[in-house]
Amino acid sequence: MALQFHLVPRKNLSKNVEAGKEKLYYAQTRATGTCSFDELCEIVAESSTASSGDVKVVIDRVIKFLLLFLARGEVVQCGELGTFQLLQTSSGSVTVEEFSSSMLYRARLRFRPGPKLRELILTAKSERFKVEEPKPATPDGGSDRPEIE
């Protein structure tokens, strides 16, 4: 199945914008639905010998230990899923003595997809989704609904 996108007008932030090009249209992906955690566990359970509850317990434990190892500053490899790592950078200081911990930025989570996810990213197809435009008012200025007096 292809990723769906629609076009969204946004202000052109380029310098020296030509007349008529003040807005540009950009693609914005559109989710086709959401798979809940319970639904994911049910599907995994149906395709294995584990029950849905067993799957939930295992995923819960994976998350718990993933957080533990990340908090210790370790890179966590999750097989074909990918690799997780906490990163933190800072603003610069002229000398080592001038640096303080207040210059640190908020920590970020870095995810590097595994081979199957990288392949999915490289081979993803896209299709345009037409967003329905609102119906214009009738020529006499009223709406298409009957007026109640």
Give 26-45 pLDDT, tens digit per residue. Answer: 899 988 899 999 999 999 99
**What pLDDT, on the 0 to 100 scale, is given for residue 2?**
83
Give the model's pLDDT for residue 140.
60
pLDDT for the residue 146: 64
So what's the pLDDT on residue 105? 96
39 with 56: CB under 8 angstroms? no
Other C-beta atoms lying within 10 Å of the C-beta of residue 114 = 15
pLDDT value at residue 23? 86
| Per-domain boundaries in the chain | 75-92+101-124
pLDDT on residue 15? 79
pTM: 0.70
In this structure, which long-range contacts are made by residues 75-83, counting pairs with CB atoms below 8 Å and at least 24 apart in sequence? 78/114, 79/114, 80/114, 80/115, 80/116, 80/117, 81/113, 81/114, 81/117, 82/111, 82/112, 82/113, 82/114, 82/117, 83/111, 83/112, 83/114
Residues 58-111: tens digit of each pLDDT: 999 999 999 999 999 999 999 999 999 999 999 999 999 999 999 999 999 999
pLDDT of residue 149: 62
Q: What residues contact residue 116 under an 8 Å CB cut-off, 6+ apart? A: 80
3-state secondary structure the chain: CCEEEEEEEEECCCCCCCCCCCEEEEEEEECCCCCCHHHHHHHHHHCCCCCHHHHHHHHHHHHHHHHHHHHCCCCEECCCCEEEEEECCECCCCCCCCCCHHHECCCEEEEEECHHHHHHHHHCCEEECCCCCCCCCCCCCCCCCCCCC
Instruction: Inform me whether the pLDDT recorded for 3 exceeds 80.
Output: yes
Average pLDDT across the chain, whole number? 88
Q: Is the pLDDT of residue 135 over 70?
A: no
pLDDT at 138 over 70: no
